[in-house]
Amino acid sequence: MHTEQLVDFVNNELDNMKARDIVTIDVRDKASFTDVMVICSGNSTRHVKSIVDNLHTQIKHTDVTPLGLEGTDIGEWALLDLGDVIVHVMIDETRDLYQLEKLWGED
């Protein structure tokens, strides 16, 4: 699956799980470890866990092999590494604190 197709797949699954404020950032010129970061919010720690667990389950039905899954124990910030795409799902407080959009977004 090409990067753009993977981003579309991820965004569709996040939308299906009612993730909020989905942002896609192309980081190819800024990072060597991935091409795109997708950042979104969940309504609660339980919702964050559900979003990431669902995406992890659905991605297994494709040709993409997840490289890592972190943060589902607490659920304030969960990360799913899909190689070309890294997905960050956070509660609002954590997202406001780390401000990944500002860190990785346009200068």
Q: Of all residues in the chain, what percent carry a pLDDT higher than 70?
A: 98
| 3-104 CATH fold | Beta Polymerase; domain 2 (3.30.460)
Check pLDDT > 90 for residue 1: no
Confidence of residue 11 (pLDDT cuts 50, 70, 90): very high
Q: pLDDT digit string (tens) for 13-42?
A: 999 999 999 999 999 999 999 999 999 999
* pLDDT for the residue 37: 97
Nearest of 45, 44, 38 to residue 79 by alpha carbon? 38
What predicted TM-score, i.e. pTM, was given to this entire model? 0.94
Contacts of the segment 90-96: beta carbons below 8 A, 24+ positions apart = 90/39, 90/40, 90/41, 90/42, 90/48, 91/41, 91/42, 91/43, 91/44, 91/45, 91/48, 92/41, 95/21, 95/39, 95/41
Q: pLDDT digit string (tens) for 38-66?
A: 999 999 999 999 999 999 999 999 999 99
